[in-house]
Amino acid sequence: MLTVLEVFNRTESFFGSKGIPNPKFEAQLVMAHALSIDRLQIFMRFDQPMEQAELDAVRELVRRRGEGEPYAYLVGNQEFWSLEFEVGPGVLIPRPDTETLVEHVLTALPEDEELFLADICAGSGCIGIAIASERPQVKVYAVELSEQALPYLKTNIAKHGLEKRVAALRGDLLSPIPSNRPIDWVLSNPPYIATAEMHGLAVSKTEPLEALDGGQDGLDIYRRLVPAAAERARVGVAMEIGHDQGQAVSKLFEAAGLTQVQLLQDLGKRDRVVMGRKG
């Protein structure tokens, strides 16, 4: 029978041949999940023979990962803001970069004031849920157009016990939120990758295109959403952007009448968020 070390070495070699970044680490992740153990425990079990059921579990995960399926889809979850979000085919996997948006919005929100936020293009719900978890008085309209992504959004709201404060709505941008409902802040991580750039991205083969493709210059959704957000928001608007879109999106904010427009950077010192105030 094959030992854990033998299977580990074969998995690492296979991932390397497929061009998967950091194949040793990925092999650790896959095997740990298949064996239901902590990643570091693998090293203590190197000499242990593997049962057939364990081999089958590893082989299936290795096959899927080798075909380009993201690790988060394999295991069904992704951590964001120290919270766990369920994900799978049809919903965008939360990225650490998006925590920049959450961080700056939380800085702008009073800690004890009841506020209504709209999280547009909500996907898994990571932005609205993360903020609601930090601000007990905040209520969120989480809006998602995709039928495939919506079940993940609803599941994650329930997973974190936020059904009374975060509502999942299906529809286009702000349209599902009744016009008589107050919105203090409009937040969004919309699709912002230019169509021509999509073809060179591995992510475009595995995650939903509608959550990534922002049109010819990546700004299609901003042109629609920024004016609508500026009209509805009572306090402010904040959106994630691509690293080279800061000036263009800032101008859209200003053209929509937003003031105190700020271009904010992520930990890598890249432009990541545009934020503006109403009035």
* DSSP secondary structure string for all residues of 245-261: -HHHHHHHHHHTTEEEE
* Residues 209-222: tens digit of each pLDDT: 889 889 999 999 99
Q: How many structural domains does the chain have?
A: 2
pLDDT of residue 21: 87
Residue whose C-alpha is closest to residue 64's, from 14, 123, 1:
14
Same domain, 231 and 111: yes
Radius of gyration of the chain (CA): 21
Residue 41 has φ and ψ, to the nearest 5°, of: -70, -20
pLDDT of residue 46: 93
Q: How many CB atoms lie within 10 A of CB 67?
A: 10
Same domain, 39 and 126: no
pLDDT of residue 275: 98
Residue 28's SS3 state is helix
CATH of the domain at 171: 3.40.50.150
Same domain, 19 and 149: no
* Residues 173-202: tens digit of each pLDDT: 999 999 999 999 999 999 999 998 887 676
- Run means of pLDDT, 10 residues per run, the chain, 279 residues: 93 94 92 91 92 94 92 94 96 95 96 95 98 97 97 98 98 96 97 86 77 92 98 97 96 97 94 95
Alpha carbons 138 and 110: distance in angstroms, whole number:
10
Same domain, 230 and 100: yes
Same domain, 157 and 58: no
pLDDT of residue 40: 87
Beta bridge partners of 275: 238, 262
Does residue 55 belong to any structural domain of this protein? yes
Q: Taking a C-beta distance cutoff of 8 angstroms, is the pair 114, 139 a contact?
A: yes
Checking DSSP bridges between strand 258-265 and strand 271-278, what pairing results, if any? antiparallel
Kind and range of the H or E run holding 115: strand 115-120
pLDDT of residue 201: 73
Domain endpoint, select from 29, 48, 68: 68
Residue whose C-alpha is closest to residue 229's, from 262, 252, 247:
252
